[in-house]
Amino acid sequence: MMKLLKGIEVSKGVKLQITNTIKELEEMDKFPQLGIIRVGNDPSDISYEKSIIKNCDSLGIKTKIVELDEKIDTDDLVSAMEELNNDTLVSGILVFRPLPKHIDEEKVRISINPSKDVDCMHPLNLEKIFEGDITGFSPCTPKAAMEILLYNDIPLEGKNVVVINRSMVVGKPLAMMLLEKNATVTICHSRTQNLSEITKNADIVMTGLGRAKFLDDKYFNESSIVIDIGVSLDSDGKISGDVDMDKVNDKISMVTPVPGGVGSVTTSILLKQVVDACKMN
């Protein structure tokens, strides 16, 4: 039987940690608050924002939403950031990205106070990830993927893990986190040749292609463990992961569903980093 690695269980565990930390913080008269900067009204930003606020409300984390006009220039955006940096009630700051093209994203990245950088966008925080130091903030998606492996007691030491994605928000940080757990890591991408040969020989495949149902049973073996980080729409317009679930069904060992897998843990990771930031600052 193929095991479904559902995110909800993992997310519950993370939320329990959050609740416990909030209790500790209350005793110190500290109250976590997430500042969110949203430029413009992109529907996916708004939908993510709503989900974050709902989760914050249910856990007792305050939110402060800074809505900015999509025509704002870089300097004014940096000023908005500095206001949140200086607001002692704000524990962590999230900026929805990608930002409009006229904005100098580099300037925005370095303007965030690294100790409030709960989405890990500041170069100094990313460099720590490069070094394998995950005691600080991590990019939320790869951290969520790691959390699923951890929660399910899936061993990584000496295992061959293939990561299909080489972005700074998913693949590269994920590869560094896996190395830290002593996995042997192969990073694949759009230019990789013989992808199926590489994935078929791996113990674990972590994919963030963003191509609905691209990976069928030919890419795996019967003991494959697959963490699906891809999110895209299939030909019927339904949200789908990279894995063709019908074709791999019972032909691999474990897989995360989409939706209900990695994505459902990501927000919990973000909020855990908000309460951790509140604790540290």
Site residues (CB under 8 A) for a second copy?
123-124, 126-131, 157-158, 160, 166, 168, 172, 175-176, 179, 182, 184-189, 191-193, 198
| Beta-strand pair 62-68/254-255 | unpaired
Nearer to a second copy, 55 or 125 (CB): 125
- Alpha-helical runs (H) found in 74-215: 74-86, 105-111, 123-130, 140-151, 171-180, 195-200
Smallest distance from the beta carbon of 10 to a second copy, in angstroms? 25
Q: State in angstroms the smallest separation of the CB of 263 from a second copy.
A: 24
Taking the least distance from each CB to a second copy, the nearer of 4 and 124 is: 124
DSSP letter at 148? Answer: H
Q: How far is the CB of 44 from a second copy (least distance, A)?
A: 24
Report the residue number, 172 or 272, with the smaller CB distance to a second copy. 172
Q: How many CB atoms lie within 10 A of CB 52?
A: 20
| Residue placing its CB nearer to a second copy in the complex, 107 or 238 | 107
Least distance (Å) between residue 21 CB and a second copy: 27
Q: Nearer to a second copy by C-beta: 185 or 209?
A: 185
Tell how strand 239-240 and strand 232-233 pair up: antiparallel
> In Å, how far are 54, 79, 138, 142, 207 from 134, measured between CA atoms?
27, 29, 7, 12, 21
In whole angstroms, how close is the CB of 166 to a second copy at the nearest point?
5
- What tokens does 52 get? 């974050």
